[in-house]
Structure 1
Amino acid sequence: MLKKIITIMATSLVFASGLVHASLVNVDYVVLDKPIPQLHKDKVEVLEFFSYSCIHCSHLEPFMLKEMKSFAPDTYLRPVHVVWDDDVYYNLARVAAAVNSTNMKLQADPLIFDAIFNKHIELWRPEVFNKWAVQQTAFDGQKLVKSYNSLENAAAATSMRKMGEKYNILSTPTVIVGGKYELKFPQGFAAGMKTLNELIEKVRNENSARAASARKLPKSIGASLAASANR
């Protein structure tokens, strides 16, 4: 009996200290009524609706980039910039589209947020962005500008706009795992990363179970008869 009491006390202390994190539905995350199709259905997608003009997104970004660096090969981040007007948001979505197409999110995003919020540089103005980007040394600014000014860039920004409208994204950041679990941050972004990893594992297990179920083939009639004859 004493051993049992000690075990219960130890378990309580572990939970109280935050060493064990058990995410709660409708608290740490919610299940979407309308799932969002993933780009790669057999992998684990972390979909992030964000804006470079969103202060909360700037606070989340360091945590998200850190997690992104440690993602398993079956997990990927899908950044989608919201477009809520034809000026600031649209032009910042063009910046995001350029960052995505050049795979420079890790290098460029911290500097973009810093330029907007700390240095008050109006990167939503195309001429300002072009001038600022080519001056950067932490990433290939020329490559980013070339992508920004390409024909594909406007189409990518428009696609982001349509996606945000289709799924009625009204606030940022909005993070969705596996196309169906929307991450919440009731205890802040650091705690939210624990929930993020739990949801990634949840989706991974669901994908594995679905794949295993698909591999099961029905027994042939002959095999069934043979089994019956051997009983």
Structure 2
Amino acid sequence: MKRRQFAAWSAGLGMAALLASPSVFAQGGLPAAGQYVKLAQRAPVSVPAGKIEVIEFFSYACPHCAEFDPALEAWVAKLPSDVVFRRVPIAFRPTWVPLQKLYLTLEALGQVNALQAKVFDAVHKQHLQLDQADVAAEWAARNGVDAAKFKSVYNSFGMQSKVAQANRLAEQYKIDGVPTLGVNGQYLTSVSMTQSEPKTFEAANALIAAARAGR
């Protein structure tokens, strides 16, 4: 999903390609021109030396992110041990900020793995208004999250800092659409660049290999 308009979403080529081992693409060098971007100025990373950081920039408001998530989860499950994956929620417009806070709250409470897919279903299939704080808190409680803890984190002063950090990192990565994968503060790739989910993961694998080679 682009900042100014929604990109056309290309059809996938099948789960077999999505689940290919990252090492398959390590010998091919960088992806083809147009399938990735190298940042002019490296963005900061938050992993120890010897590790490679991969970030998915996304929003619960984005239908393309919802479609991308199952394939992403399958790919992440097969990443090598030196790759650290995390998500950063994006808010291109004020109405997305509550969903940004929803993710950051679930992350703080250790509930992302359990509830990530359920949030997408709630927003895009059940059409629940999880951008409303009270609705989000009630939904979280129905899904096993302590409501008091949820509200405490969601409404905390520290949440403002987390939102600001996410926004700042998106600016440093020059993010203008989601879902986008950022690799080690150096590279970006996305379905809008590669035109398919499998090619996006192939590109990300190649960028991980390039980051590893240059480490």
TM-score by length of structure 2 reads: 0.76
* 1:205-226 C-alpha deviation (Å, 9 max, x unpaired): 322xxxxxxxxxxxxxxxxxxx
Q: Which residue, 180, 184, 188 being the options, matches 2:186?
A: 180
* 1:161-213 C-alpha deviation (Å, 9 max, x unpaired): 23334444221112111111111332411332222223222222322xxxxxx
Query: For residues 168 and 203 of structure 1, do their structure 2 counterparts lie closer, same or farther at Cα, with a shift above 3 Å needed?
Result: closer
Is contact 1:47-1:79 (8 Å) kept?
yes
Corresponding pairs, count: 187
In structure 2, distance between residues paired with 1:151 and 1:112: 24
* 1:56-103 C-alpha deviation (Å, 9 max, x unpaired): 1111111222222333332112311112333x2111111111122233
The answer to which of 159-168 and 181-190 deviates more is 159-168
TM-score by length of structure 1 reads: 0.71
Q: Secondary structure at the match of 1:45?
A: strand
Structure 2 unaligned blocks of 5 or more:
1-16
Q: Give the residue type in structure 2 aligned to 1:90.
A: V
State the Cα distance separating 1:104 from its structure 2 match: 2.6
Is contact 1:94-1:153 (8 Å) kept?
yes
Equivalent residue, structure 2, for 1:136? 143
Equivalent residue, structure 1, for 2:168? 162
Q: Which residue, 63, 68, 73 being the options, matches 2:76?
A: 68
Q: Secondary structure at the match of 2:214?
A: helix
In structure 2, distance between residues paired with 1:57 and 1:141: 27
In structure 1, distance between residues paired with 2:150 and 2:73: 19
Q: Give the residue type in structure 2 aligned to 1:65.
A: E
Q: Give the residue type in structure 1 aligned to 2:137.
A: N
Structure with max Cα Rg: 1
- 1:151 equivalent to 2:157? Answer yes
State the Cα distance separating 1:146 from its structure 2 match: 4.4
- What is the aligned-residue identity percentage? 25
Q: Give the residue type in structure 2 aligned to 1:29.
A: Y
Q: Which residue, 76, 83, 98 being the options, matches 1:91?
A: 98
Query: Over aligned residues, Cα RMSD in angstroms?
Result: 2.4
Equivalent residue, structure 2, for 1:39? 46
The answer to which of 162-171 and 102-111 deviates more is 162-171
* 1:132-183 C-alpha deviation (Å, 9 max, x unpaired): 110014xx45454543233322321122223334444221112111111111
State the Cα distance separating 1:105 from its structure 2 match: 2.3
In structure 2, distance between residues paired with 1:165 and 1:35: 12
